[in-house]
Amino acid sequence: MNKKELYATEDNRKRRAVLVGARIGNISEEDFDIGMAELKGLVKACNIEPVFRATQNLLREDSATFIGSGKVEEVKNLVLECEADVVIFNNQLSPSQMVNLSKALDVEVIDRTGLILNIFAERAKTKEARLQVDYAQLKYMLPRLVGLRANLSRQGGTGGSLSNKGSGEKQIELDRRKIEKEMAFLRKELAEVEKTRELQRGRRTSSGIPLVALVGYTNAGKSTLMNKMIDMYGTDASQKVFVQDMLFATLDTTVRKLETKTGRSFLLSDTVGFINDLPTDLVNAFHSTLEEALFADLIVEVVDSSDPNHIMHSEVTSKTLSQLGAGDIPKITVMNKAEVLENITIPKVNDDKIYISAKSGVGVEELVALIERKLNAALKLCDLLIPYDRSGIESQIRSSAQLVNIEYQENGIAIEAYLDAENYGRYKEFIV
Ligand SMILES: Nc1nc2c(ncn2[C@@H]2O[C@H](COP(=O)(O)OP(=O)(O)OP(=O)(O)O)[C@@H](O)[C@H]2O)c(=O)[nH]1
Ligand SMILES: [Mg+2]
């Protein structure tokens, strides 16, 4: 399958990229193609134009240049032929492979991880997201300084010339120290921001309002669903979130309070999407954002059911959730964009799976009913009796649990309410 393929060009002013992928080990040709198509999506999300793709089957990677030397030569010719500015590898390159390749190809070389980091860097808006991305970028750069400096000087930056090896090395050492210092600073800042996030979470948990987290593969329609639900069930003039047909449109976490027709309120969170091979550095850096799901009472997994690869997407999501420690949280699967599917009349509910169209809103009402059912299943209906000298407890229960009935009796306040595990423990002594 060693082949090269010309992509249709769209816009000549954009930076142009040659995409390279090596198929190694027992990855099926189909999975490999999916990965390459996804790389193309990532490149576009970075506003770079993919112009050529070159692929190679390999038994094992070349320790110096990842792909074989013949392929390096071929890629170099492609770069010249289509005046590419950058070569983007789908495989993760070691720092030395990156240096060798950028020397051999004489253009900037980045890998999938570097590309995703670039996208995140462009999109990050909130202070926390910025800090997280900056940190991940520096961590990624540190072992790759030699190669990056070569890239920089090629772009006419202030980089030390590689031919002048002595001063180049000195410059790299200086860069390294600067980066390490910057990383230490960012770590401190991040710790501060994380403290605030924990505080907010604590406040949310103690409010007794359950948290429902939208999770799923990037571009599945999480933010679209969030906006639709805000439209239909938003409590105040809640601000909408950003929706775009591109990978990683959302990087920040948004939480909104919603109220169902039966008067039950819950918090809904929308956050960064998952992707296959999300770089480890990024997972670590975005841990506090990603682990938002960990604190959810219910996870709503949004799947783009119209995407031929949705099964793989769903597997990646489950795997990521387990890695985060959120594998045991009750889950509903939303098969979104179902209006595109043939043979499915929506909404179609099937245990904990529901087919909907977030864009048109068809099925959203049924989804919310399902959410309500699931949330209630996690609660216990309890009878409590609160003595009048402890009447402060009444208002606490009112604000933190769902009340069914309340009666002021002779011997105290009789309350019937749904309690979650935390409230159950807290008010145990009053349960009759
Ligand atoms: N046809 C169709 N398109 C949809 C539907 N829901 C969302 N989309 C489109 O899918 C694209 C991605 O939607 P988003 O809501 O930004 O997806 P997301 O899951 O938040 O993506 P990230 O934030 O990038 O992880 C947009 O172009 C939406 O208009 C739907 O029900 N049907
Ligand atoms: Mg989004």
Alpha-carbon distances, residue 130 vs 20, 71, 289, 398 (angstroms): 29, 37, 12, 39
Q: Whose CA is nearest to atom 32 of ligand 1?
A: 337
- Given 116, 141, 169, the domain boundary residue is 116
pLDDT > 90 in the chain, percent: 42
State whether 280 and 340 are in the same domain.
yes
Choice among 167-181, 236-250, 370-384 with the minimum mean pLDDT: 236-250
Contacts of 244 (CB under 8 A, 6+ apart): none
Choice among 88-97, 190-199, 211-220, 275-284 with the minimum mean pLDDT: 275-284
Count of structural domains, the chain: 4
The structure tokens 């240049």 sit at: 65
How many CB atoms are closer than 10 A to CB 371?
Answer: 23
Q: Which two tokens mark 202?
A: 């604590």
**Alpha carbon distance 425, 432 (integer Å):** 14
User: Quick one: pLDDT at residue 1?
Assistant: 47
State whether 385 and 371 are in the same domain.
no
User: Average pLDDT of 184-194?
Assistant: 90
State whether 269 and 364 are in the same domain.
yes
Would you say residue 193 lies in a domain? no
CB under 5 Å of ion ligand 2: residues: 222-223, 249-250
User: Quick one: pLDDT at residue 198?
Assistant: 80
Spacing, Cα 224 to ligand 1 middle (Å): 6
Confidence band (pLDDT; 50, 70, 90) for 2? Answer: low
How many CB atoms are closer than 10 A to CB 387?
Answer: 11
User: Is 90 in a helix, a strand, or coil?
Assistant: coil
Burial, 251: exposed, middle or buried (Cβ in 10 Å; 0-12, 13-18, 19+)? buried
Spacing, Cα 390 to ligand 2 middle (Å): 46
User: Quick one: pLDDT at residue 230?
Assistant: 93
147 has a pLDDT exceeding 90:
no
User: Average pLDDT of 154-161?
Assistant: 47
Choice among 151-160, 301-310, 399-408 with the minimum mean pLDDT: 151-160
Q: Which ligand is nearest to the CA of 225?
A: 1
Would you say residue 162 lies in a domain? yes
State whether 139 and 155 are in the same domain.
yes
Note every long-range contact of 67-72, with CB atoms under 8 Å and residues 24 or more positions apart, other chains counting. Answer: 67/20, 67/22, 71/2, 71/20, 72/101, 72/104, 72/105
Spacing, Cα 245 to ligand 1 middle (Å): 6
For ligand 1, whether the C-beta of 273 sits within 6 Å is yes
User: Quick one: pLDDT at residue 12?
Assistant: 56
Bridge partners, residue 384, by sequence: 415, 431
State whether 155 and 126 are in the same domain.
yes
State whether 308 and 369 are in the same domain.
yes
pLDDT tens digits for 21-38? 999 988 899 889 999 999
Q: Which ligand is nearest to the CA of 249?
A: 1
Q: Are strands 86-89 and 108-111 parallel, antiparallel or unpaired?
A: parallel
For ligand 1, whether the C-beta of 336 sits within 6 Å is yes
Ligand 1 pocket: which of 125, 214, 224, 271 to mutate (most atoms within 8 A of CB) = 224
State whether 359 and 249 are in the same domain.
yes
Q: Whose CA is nearest to atom 16 of ligand 1?
A: 243
User: Average pLDDT of 54-79?
Assistant: 94
Would you say residue 201 lies in a domain? no
Radius of gyration from C-alpha coordinates of the chain: 26
- Mean per-residue pLDDT over the chain, rounded: 85
306 has a pLDDT exceeding 90:
yes
- Given 100, 116, 132, the domain boundary residue is 116
426 has a pLDDT exceeding 90:
no
Would you say residue 191 lies in a domain? no
The atom of ligand 1 lying closest to the CA of 218 is: 25
State whether 219 and 312 are in the same domain.
yes
Ligand 1 pocket: which of 116, 227, 243, 245 to mutate (most atoms within 8 A of CB) = 243
pLDDT tens digits for 373-415? 898 887 888 999 999 999 889 988 888 788 889 999 999 999 9
Spacing, Cα 332 to ligand 1 middle (Å): 18
Domain that holds residue 143: 119-185
Would you say residue 203 lies in a domain? no
State whether 136 and 281 are in the same domain.
no
State whether 426 and 356 are in the same domain.
no
Would you say residue 177 lies in a domain? yes
Kind and range of the H or E element at 152?
Answer: helix 145-154
**Alpha carbon distance 234, 240 (integer Å):** 10
- Given 97, 116, 135, the domain boundary residue is 116
CA angle 263, 266, 272 (to 5 degrees): 150
CB contact burial 394-408 (16+ within 10 A = b; e otherwise)? beebeebbbeeeeee
User: Is 277 in a helix, a strand, or coil?
Assistant: coil
CA angle 23, 286, 207 (to 5 degrees): 140
User: Average pLDDT of 98-125?
Assistant: 88
For ligand 1, whether the C-beta of 215 sits within 6 Å is no
Q: What is the DSSP letter of 360?
A: T
Confidence band (pLDDT; 50, 70, 90) for 157? Answer: very low
Please name which of 146, 148, 144, 123 lies closest in space to residue 133, comparing C-alpha atoms: 123
- The CATH number given to whatever domain includes residue 17 is 3.40.50.11060
The atom of ligand 1 lying closest to the CA of 336 is: 31
User: Average pLDDT of 69-97?
Assistant: 93
Would you say residue 286 lies in a domain? yes
Would you say residue 194 lies in a domain? no
For ligand 1, whether the C-beta of 160 sits within 6 Å is no
13 has a pLDDT exceeding 70:
no
Q: Which ligand is nearest to the CA of 215?
A: 1
State whether 273 and 150 are in the same domain.
no
- The CATH number given to whatever domain includes residue 425 is 3.30.70
- The CATH number given to whatever domain includes residue 226 is 3.40.50.300
User: Quick one: pLDDT at residue 225?
Assistant: 97
Please name which of 62, 323, 11, 372 lies closest in space to residue 75, comparing C-alpha atoms: 62
For ligand 1, whether the C-beta of 389 sits within 6 Å is no
Choice among 16-20, 323-327, 357-361 with the minimum mean pLDDT: 323-327
Q: Which two tokens mark 375?
A: 């949330």
Cβ-contact 249, 243 below 8 angstroms: yes
Q: Whose CA is nearest to atom 25 of ligand 1?
A: 218
State whether 103 and 235 are in the same domain.
no
Q: Which ligand is nearest to the CA of 217?
A: 1
Please name which of 126, 246, 114, 141 lies closest in space to residue 194, comparing C-alpha atoms: 126
Q: Which of 1-5, 262-266, 294-298, 383-387 has the highest mean pLDDT?
A: 383-387
pLDDT tens digits for 159-172? 444 444 466 777 87
The structure tokens 């390749």 sit at: 101
CA angle 367, 320, 46 (to 5 degrees): 90
Q: Which ligand is nearest to the CA of 363?
A: 1
Ligand 1 pocket: which of 42, 215, 219 to mutate (most atoms within 8 A of CB) = 219
User: Average pLDDT of 119-138?
Assistant: 85
For ligand 1, whether the C-beta of 358 sits within 6 Å is yes
Spacing, Cα 222 to ligand 1 middle (Å): 7
Say what the pTM is.
Answer: 0.80
For ligand 1, whether the C-beta of 357 sits within 6 Å is yes
User: Quick one: pLDDT at residue 284?
Assistant: 73
